[in-house]
């Protein structure tokens, strides 16, 4: 089996390391921007290949960029981005621009990732995250990590300072915040969906493909 296509998606949030985003863009096969995510791409020094969404926040249509208007207001631009990527089949998918000054947009994007069921990593201002569903697991190296349930979930860990053993987590009941890994740690989701965040760990295509 050959290498999966590398897809970078860019949302409108600007609280991210622009150089890291630009480095990811250089290694991507396709760069999608969700509506005004185009402005984030330009601020980081590159153009997207495709812009998707209702396009109401696009300041300028660039000649080299393909624009795919999807005007259904029942779905967010993040939903529309995920739909575009889903149609490509099995890919390596990273999203930047997740964090910004609109907290409602951050929460809405989290809901989009939870229901979208497309494997995704998130480039964050400090570190990166990965969305996991029931039956999935993630091996982490040393460092600080958090597990945030997107709804109700049951999670186990192996190798963490504060272990979880078939532990029920929920959005209102709490998760596992700033846990510590002295060496390799395995996070396994038994039910539900969670976001796992690795603090201050850079994200690159080799890490996601490994």
72 and 17 assigned to the same domain: yes
Position with higher pLDDT, 12 vs 93 = 93
5-21 mean pLDDT: 91
Q: How far apart are CA 50 and CA 66, in angstroms?
A: 5
Question: In which band, very low, low, confident or very high, does the pLDDT at 141 lie, cut at 50, 70 and 90?
Answer: confident
Supply the CATH number for residue 89's domain.
Answer: 3.40.50.10240
Average pLDDT taken over every residue of the chain: 89
Are both 103 and 69 inside the same structural domain? yes
Q: Give backbone dihedrals phi and psi of 20, rounded to 5 degrees, phi first.
A: -65, -40
Whole-angstrom distance between the N-terminal and C-terminal Cα of the chain? Answer: 14
Domain CATH code at residue 169: 2.60.120.320
Q: Which helix (H) or strand (E) holds 106?
A: helix 103-116
- Answer yes or no: do 30 and 104 share one domain: yes
Q: Which two tokens stand for residue 39?
A: 């402005």
54-65, pLDDT tens digit by residue? 888 788 888 898
pLDDT of residue 101: 78
The string of pLDDT tens digits covering residues 142-162 is 889 999 999 899 999 999 999
- 195-206 pLDDT, tens digit per residue, is 999 886 677 787
Structure confidence at residue 210 (pLDDT): 44
Residue 207 has pLDDT above 80, yes or no: no
Residue 179: which domain range?
Answer: 133-194
Do residue 116 and residue 163 come from a single domain? no
pLDDT in tens, 183-196: 889 999 999 999 99
């Amino acid at each position: 089996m050959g290498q999966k296509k590398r897809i970078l998606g860019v949302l409108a949030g600007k609280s991210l390391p622009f150089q890291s985003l630009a480095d990811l863009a250089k290694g991507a096969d396709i760069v999608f921007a969700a509506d005004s995510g185009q402005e984030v791409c330009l601020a980081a020094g590159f153009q997207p290949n495709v812009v998707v969404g209702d396009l109401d926040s696009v300041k300028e249509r660039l000649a080299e960029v393909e624009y795919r208007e999807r005007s259904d207001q029942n779905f967010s631009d993040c939903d529309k981005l995920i739909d575009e990527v889903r149609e490509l089949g099995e890919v390596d998918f990273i999203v930047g621009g997740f964090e910004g000054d609109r907290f409602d947009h951050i929460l809405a994007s989290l809901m989009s990732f939870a229901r979208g069921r497309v494997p995704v990593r998130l480039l964050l201002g400090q570190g990166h995250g990965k969305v996991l569903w029931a039956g999935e697991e993630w091996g982490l190296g040393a460092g600080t990590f958090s597990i945030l349930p997107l709804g109700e979930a049951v999670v186990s860990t192996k190798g963490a300072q504060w272990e979880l053993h078939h532990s029920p987590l929920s959005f209102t009941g709490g998760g596992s915040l700033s846990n510590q890994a002295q060496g390799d740690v395995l996070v396994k989701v038994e039910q539900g969906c969670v976001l796992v965040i690795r603090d201050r760990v850079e994200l690159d295509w080799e890490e996601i493909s490994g």
